[in-house]
Amino acid sequence: MVIIDFHVHAQKLETLLTDNPEFLEKDKILTSMDEAGIDYSVLIVVAKKGELDKTRKVNDQLAAMCHHEEKFFGFGSIHPLDGKPALKEMDRCIKELGLIGFKFHSVIQDFDVGDPSLIKIFQKAAELEVPILIDSCDPRDAAQNSKFFNLAGECPETTICFAHVGLHRFMDYFIFGYLRGNPYFKMNVYFDLTSICSAFKNSPFHEQVRWITEKIGSDYLLFGSDFPGNDQKESLEDIREFGYPKEWIPKILGENAMKLLKI
């Protein structure tokens, strides 16, 4: 069984909001993967608004990191409010650097997911035929799920993966599973289980989280750890012990990600 961690930060978390975010040592990630039995990791970065030179540099560093290690796949980043230059950087990331997706984080990047600018960014990802991974647990925005629902509806050709399944607002994400297959609501959405299984395992909400994610469906769930913020081995164990049907585990841990990553 192939195991893919769909959510690994290539940068040191304590430096993400600084002017000079630092990258993790490659061996630190590989050692953690070996200890956990993980075959591949999707490395992610985040870009700051209005700093296109730094954005390009970060994407260049990520591409170099992935180019020299076959166990890494890279999701670059742009700031979604940087306009046409951001769209050009998206082209460069995929066509020149060999990255295979994009990562966004409304808290770290300080944007509203309801901003109309995101539609062009998401449509561009569809044009490039690559997925978008975006965090879905902004504690500042109680309406975030509604905005995501509208965004996914506006961009039905875009493969969108919502990280954390809303975390503290997981109930809101039931609607995506409930409406899947409805011809009126055309959406192409996945969910990575980063942090949510670990946060709610053996809690009063354990069965509710499992029920919601089971309604989303076995073909649309992905394993993610949020390393180095979370331990990869422990995150993997939490997924395996969360109570999903045995036949779901290979899909969650790797098969669904292989389909998205086209490997």
All structural domains of the chain with their residue ranges: 4-261
Q: To the nearest whole percent, how much of the chain has pLDDT over 90? A: 93
Read off the pLDDT of residues 233-243 as tens digits, 9 standing for 90 and up: 999 999 999 99
Q: What integer best gives the mean pLDDT of the chain? A: 96
- The two tokens of residue 211 are 């029920």
Does the structure show a pLDDT above 80 at 17?
Answer: no
What's the pLDDT at 180?
A: 87
**What 3-state DSSP class applies to 68?**
coil
Fold of 4-261: TIM Barrel (3.20.20)
Q: Please compute the mean of the pLDDT values over residues 49-75 and round it to a whole number.
A: 96
Read off the pLDDT of residues 205-234 as tens digits, 9 standing for 90 and up: 999 999 999 999 999 999 999 999 999 999
Does the structure show a pLDDT above 90 at 124?
Answer: yes
**Confidence band for 183, pLDDT divided at 50, 70 and 90:** confident
Read off the pLDDT of residues 196-207 as tens digits, 9 standing for 90 and up: 999 999 999 999
What's the pLDDT at 21?
A: 86
Is the bond into 228 cis (omega within 30 degrees of 0)?
yes
What's the pLDDT at 16?
A: 83
Q: Find how far residue 178's CA is from the centre of its chain.
A: 22
CA-to-CA separations, 234 to 168, 187, 198, in angstroms, rounded? 20, 32, 8
What's the pLDDT at 136?
A: 96
How big is the chain by its Cα radius of gyration, in Å?
17
Q: CB-side exposure of 91: number of CA atoms within 13 Å?
A: 5
What's the pLDDT at 117?
A: 95
Place of tokens 């209005």: 50
Q: Looking at per-residue confidence, does 181 or 102 come out higher?
A: 102
Minimum mean pLDDT range among 8-17, 108-117, 237-246:
8-17
The helix/strand count (H/E) of the chain reads as: 12, 8
Q: Cβ(135)–Cβ(105) under 8 Å? A: yes
**Pairing mode, strands 4-9 and 189-192:** unpaired
Q: Please compute the mean of the pLDDT values over residues 165-177 and round it to a whole number.
A: 94
